[in-house]
Chains A and B, each alone.
Chain A
Amino acid sequence: MYKKALYLLAGDKSLVIEFGNTISKEINLKIRNMILALERANLPGILELVPTYRSILLIYDPLVWIYPSLISSLKKIETELTSLELPKPRVNLIPVVYGGEYGPDLPFVCEHNGLTQEEVIKIHTGTDYLIYMLGFTPGFTYLGGMDERIATPRLKTPRVKIPAGSVGIAGSQTGIYPIDSPGGWQLIGRTPVKLFDPYREKPVLLSAGDYVRFYEITPQEYEEIAKKAEAGNYQVETREYSVGEVAGE
């Protein structure tokens, strides 16, 4: 983490506040603090804040702000940043059917790492994954903390269409596809939970700063949950995060 954030130019309406050049829990916490402080400060002419791994993209109205005074206002907020009472992180329990048609690449992940299917599933479900950021496509979470024992390179030829809900591995990352999209991740399972629904009151289910824990379900349970989710009657189980309950960052 840098001693002081860098303020980088990003055109006539945006700037980047960069806190470091690595992926770390510490930097991510700093960003969440800064976002909260900016929201509380409620400065005029700030149109949008986009938090990412190590920086914030801030979009402002240049008719409201002269750049030097914007920067000094932001730096003041940064300097006065103490650890604010961030909301306690929650763990979202995400049901997944592993293998078979739901996760066609599970055999390859096993073979690549010399593990049985049961072992891969045990490792994948045995971690609380920190949601560092959302981005790329609506509702896509960048998760941290996957066990290196199940790390697997991407497919050489990406698939044209991956169904929404697919759970995959790419290198030492794991993630869920929120909408049907092309992609090169190794698919190990699928969740019936709808991570993104633009017509729902809360369109995106998961928030940065919270955690994801996967648990295994049967195809029959998948169908039951899918039906409920389709009707808008399925609530993902969440609980307060406690360090050391399972592995994880």
Chain B
Amino acid sequence: MSFIKVIKPGFFTTIQDRGRYGFQKWGIPVAGAMDEYALRLANLLVGNNQEEGCLEITLLGPTLQFNMEGLIALTGADLGAKLNGTDCPLYEAIWVKKGDILEFTGVKSGCRAYLAVSGGFDIPEVLGSKSTYVRGKFGGFKGRPLQAGDQIPVAGPSGSWEKLRGLQIPVEFRTGFTNQINLRVVLGPQSDSFTKSGIDTFLNSTYKVTNEADRMGYRLEGPKIEHKSGADIISDGIPLGAVQVPGHGFPIVMMADRQTTGGYTKIATVITPDLNKLAQAKPGDSISFQAVSLEKAHQIYREYEGQIKKLKEYLENTKNTVKSTKKAMILRINNKEYYVEIEEV
């Protein structure tokens, strides 16, 4: 059986796909990857469909041993990955052999990295998804974060995966990181519960990510946002990215593991592509909000999906030209070392 053995679990590593849709009417949270862009890119690199489950690795990564041969890819945050002791490139399809060890030496930038394996993880879907919902103790690998000694079954590569070896995602498609994040929002559904000055405060202030920032939501601190008459509403549905403002006046951005319903006013909703930026934010990072019209938000969304489509086509076209016959060697001439790559023509 092909599997990945967990030597050290790291801080918080779970299996996530693009989420468990269709069951919010029963109170079942969606879960899924926090940075769905990084998840989709990792899957594309190893020849999976974009929805496949990956390891979502938070801040301090695990130490993993591969009991398999195949392709892996790391995207998202740079958590200092090393494969058998040497730097492991991100955004590249990497061939691993049985016994290889992947470890993470510490956060360099971002917060969450995604590890895809060709063929995906061979775990049962629960309610149509491989995503782990930790609070509900179901989905993913045994409904919980990885622990030392776990053996995560890998389905094994399929299709033309071997041709993908060495494939890279061009720099312009990779996520850059900053400690000052601007999030675009569409105001509503309860923006009329706030005073004019409350809305101005929300849109013109800088907020800080607190320590209470996890898969459920990001609590921010900064200037208080003023309500007209109260922060409580009759409980209603909470969309992904909703910015809740309870009575204390500080915003909370609701993320993948959010509860399905809640009774606090929601001033705005973060647009889908910008949620990936927030998913990479760490406590102490600065957040500002910028209102866009729904038309603009939809235009941005179409461009975002267009970008992924373009990348997919690029990878499809490139994989056939990647030479797997490339060899590298070090030549010593007159006591000087030269790194030389050769390939068949």
A-B residue pairs in contact (CB < 8 Å), sample of 27: A8-B188, A8-B189, A9-B294, A10-B189, A10-B266, A12-B272, A12-B301, A13-B240, A13-B301, A47-B21, A53-B235, A53-B236, A54-B236, A57-B239, A63-B301, A63-B302, A134-B25, A136-B260, A136-B262, A137-B27, A137-B259, A138-B28, A139-B26, A179-B136, A198-B139, A199-B126, A204-B28
CB distance from B21 to the nearest CB of A (A): 6
Task: Give the residues in chain A near B185, CB-CB below 8 Å.
Answer: 11
Residue contact B239 to A11, C-beta cutoff 8 Å = yes
The 5 closest A-B pairs by CB, nearest first: A57-B237, A11-B269, A135-B261, A9-B188, A8-B189
Residue contact B235 to A62, C-beta cutoff 8 Å = no
CA distance A8 to B270 in the complex (A): 15
Which A residue's beta carbon lies closest to that of B238?
A57
Residue contact B269 to A134, C-beta cutoff 8 Å = no
CA distance A48 to B21 in the complex (A): 7
CA distance A8 to B188 in the complex (A): 7
CB distance from B160 to the nearest CB of A (A): 27
Task: Give the residues in chain A near B139, CB-CB below 8 Å.
Answer: 198
CB distance from B230 to the nearest CB of A (A): 13
**A127 sits at the interface (CB 8 A):** no
**A208 sits at the interface (CB 8 A):** yes
Residue contact A21 to B234, C-beta cutoff 8 Å = yes
Residue contact B24 to A203, C-beta cutoff 8 Å = no
Residue contact A135 to B234, C-beta cutoff 8 Å = no
Task: Give the residues in chain A near B138, CB-CB below 8 Å.
Answer: 198-199
Chain B contacts to A: CB under 8 angstroms? 21-29, 126-127, 135-139, 185-190, 234-242, 259-262, 266, 269-272, 294-295, 297-298, 300-302, 305
The residue that A136 contacts in the complex, of B127, B239, B259, B302, with Cβ under 8 A, is: B259
Task: Give the residues in chain B near A14, CB-CB below 8 Å.
Answer: 237, 239-240, 269
Which A residue's beta carbon lies closest to that of B266?
A10
CB distance from B191 to the nearest CB of A (A): 8
Chain A contacts to B: CB under 8 angstroms? 8-14, 16, 18, 21-23, 47-57, 59, 62-63, 67, 133-140, 142, 178-179, 181, 198-199, 203-204, 208
Residue contact A136 to B27, C-beta cutoff 8 Å = yes
The residue that B126 contacts in the complex, of A12, A13, A198, with Cβ under 8 A, is: A198
CA distance A15 to B177 in the complex (A): 30
The residue that A138 contacts in the complex, of B22, B27, B240, B298, with Cβ under 8 A, is: B27
CA distance A59 to B242 in the complex (A): 13
Task: Give the residues in chain B near A199, CB-CB below 8 Å.
Answer: 126, 138
CA distance A55 to B240 in the complex (A): 17
CA distance A139 to B238 in the complex (A): 16
CA distance A199 to B266 in the complex (A): 33
CA distance A142 to B270 in the complex (A): 28
Sample of 9 further A-B pairs with CB below 8 A, known A16-B189, A47-B22, A199-B126 = A8-B189, A14-B240, A54-B236, A57-B239, A62-B301, A134-B25, A136-B259, A204-B27, A208-B25
CB distance from B137 to the nearest CB of A (A): 8
Task: Give the residues in chain B near A59, CB-CB below 8 Å.
Answer: 21, 239
CB distance from A177 to the nearest CB of B (A): 12
CB distance from B150 to the nearest CB of A (A): 20
Task: Give the residues in chain B near A21, CB-CB below 8 Å.
Answer: 234
CA distance A137 to B126 in the complex (A): 16
Task: Give the residues in chain B near A134, CB-CB below 8 Å.
Answer: 25-27
CB distance from B216 to the nearest CB of A (A): 12
Task: Give the residues in chain A near B188, CB-CB below 8 Å.
Answer: 8-10, 16
Task: Give the residues in chain B near A208, CB-CB below 8 Å.
Answer: 25
Task: Give the residues in chain A near B126, CB-CB below 8 Å.
Answer: 198-199
CB distance from A27 to the nearest CB of B (A): 10
Residue contact A50 to B259, C-beta cutoff 8 Å = no
Task: Give the residues in chain B near A55, CB-CB below 8 Å.
Answer: 236-237
Task: Give the residues in chain B near A56, CB-CB below 8 Å.
Answer: 237
Residue contact B234 to A54, C-beta cutoff 8 Å = yes
The residue that B236 contacts in the complex, of A11, A16, A22, A181, with Cβ under 8 A, is: A16
Residue contact A62 to B26, C-beta cutoff 8 Å = no
Task: Give the residues in chain B near A52, CB-CB below 8 Å.
Answer: 234-237, 261
Contact A67 B24, CB 8 Å, known A11-B239, A11-B241, A12-B272: no
Residue contact B271 to A11, C-beta cutoff 8 Å = yes
Which A residue's beta carbon lies closest to that of B271?
A12
Which A residue's beta carbon lies closest to that of B23?
A203
Residue contact B127 to A203, C-beta cutoff 8 Å = yes
Task: Give the residues in chain B near A136, CB-CB below 8 Å.
Answer: 27, 235, 259-262
CA distance A32 to B188 in the complex (A): 24
Which B residue's beta carbon lies closest to that of A9?
B188
CA distance A204 to B260 in the complex (A): 15
CB distance from B18 to the nearest CB of A (A): 11
Residue contact A57 to B127, C-beta cutoff 8 Å = no
CA distance A231 to B101 in the complex (A): 42
Residue contact A133 to B271, C-beta cutoff 8 Å = no
The residue that B186 contacts in the complex, of A9, A142, A178, A179, with Cβ under 8 A, is: A9
The residue that B234 contacts in the complex, of A10, A22, A139, A140, with Cβ under 8 A, is: A22
